[in-house]
């Protein structure tokens, strides 16, 4: 039986904590073709009609790796103590992406240098993390969780179209992904319990930025 991403999540979708608000804001920022709770009109091609190329997909993977490396470095450095909560969650992607990029090299492809979508986003979150923990945690949540939902669906489609169905390491996790996600949701809820309503709202307001930056990186798939 094939379990869809949406079905896999249904049972654990609501936690009764702040992460439900983060999710609800994020879902509304999807376009209607991306997710059923999406409220935005689709601009340009619906994602299911995207025409990926290997070169474009490699650009996307390289820029994604840069962003995940940056997120992990920020969490390791922990300028704010709550960042340390989100180390070693099992959601980390940079190591898996390194394996995938190596595989592409072995296949004779040239792995490009990062481009402005990944570089700009990395600079942005690095700066933000030093002064604005609520906003930074919004980016942490959206980037990691988006990849486990829409990111995986996109990965499957791209693999079917241009990689003979090969499943990259980027889309594999050690352990039970729904449980890993649930553990992080609980941590996010615990951390946010110490935030004022204003700080929570500030975190939620940053979601749009995360969609813009991550959207630019996703669009590299067709570059």
222 belongs to the binding site for ligand HEM (CB under 6 A): no
Q: How far is CA 121 from the centre of its chain?
A: 12
**How distant, in Å, are the alpha carbons of 12, 69, 155, 170, 172 from that of 96?**
26, 11, 14, 5, 8
**How distant, in Å, are the alpha carbons of 22, 82, 148, 158, 223 from that of 195?**
14, 11, 26, 40, 40
CB-CB contact of 12 with 181 (8 Å):
yes
Site track 40-59 with ligand HEM (rule: CB under 6 A), x = hit: -------x------------
214 belongs to the binding site for ligand HEM (CB under 6 A): yes
149 belongs to the binding site for ligand HEM (CB under 6 A): yes
95 belongs to the binding site for ligand HEM (CB under 6 A): no
34 belongs to the binding site for ligand HEM (CB under 6 A): yes
Site track 52-91 with ligand HEM (rule: CB under 6 A), x = hit: ----------------------------------------
Helix H or strand E segment including 84? none
For binding to ligand HEM (CB under 6 A), which residues are involved?
5-6, 9, 23, 26, 30, 34-35, 47, 142-143, 145-146, 149-150, 153-154, 181, 210-211, 214-215, 218
């Amino acid at each position: 039986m094939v379990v869809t991403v949406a079905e896999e999540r249904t049972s654990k979708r609501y936690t009764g904590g702040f992460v439900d608000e983060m999710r609800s804001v994020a879902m509304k920022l999807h376009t209607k073709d991306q997710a059923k709770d999406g409220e935005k009109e689709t601009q340009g091609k619906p994602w299911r009609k995207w025409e990926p190329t290997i070169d474009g997909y490699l650009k996307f993977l390289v820029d994604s790796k840069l962003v995940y490396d940056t997120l992990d470095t920020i969490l390791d450095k922990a300028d704010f103590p709550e960042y340390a909560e989100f180390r070693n969650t099992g959601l980390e992607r940079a190591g898996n992406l390194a394996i995938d990029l190596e595989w592409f090299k072995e296949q004779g492809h040239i792995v490009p240098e990062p481009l402005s979508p990944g570089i700009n986003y990395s600079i942005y979150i690095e700066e933000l993390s030093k002064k604005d923990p609520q906003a930074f945690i919004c980016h942490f949540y959206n980037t990691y969780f988006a990849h486990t939902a829409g990111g995986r669906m996109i990965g499957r489609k791209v693999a079917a179209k241009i990689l003979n169905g090969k499943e990259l390491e980027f889309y594999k996790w050690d352990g039970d992904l729904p449980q890993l996600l649930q553990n992080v949701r609980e941590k996010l809820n615990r951390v946010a319990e110490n935030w004022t309503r204003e700080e929570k709202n500030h975190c939620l307001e940053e979601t749009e930025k995360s969609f813009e930056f991550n959207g630019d990186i996703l669009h590299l798939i067709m570059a």
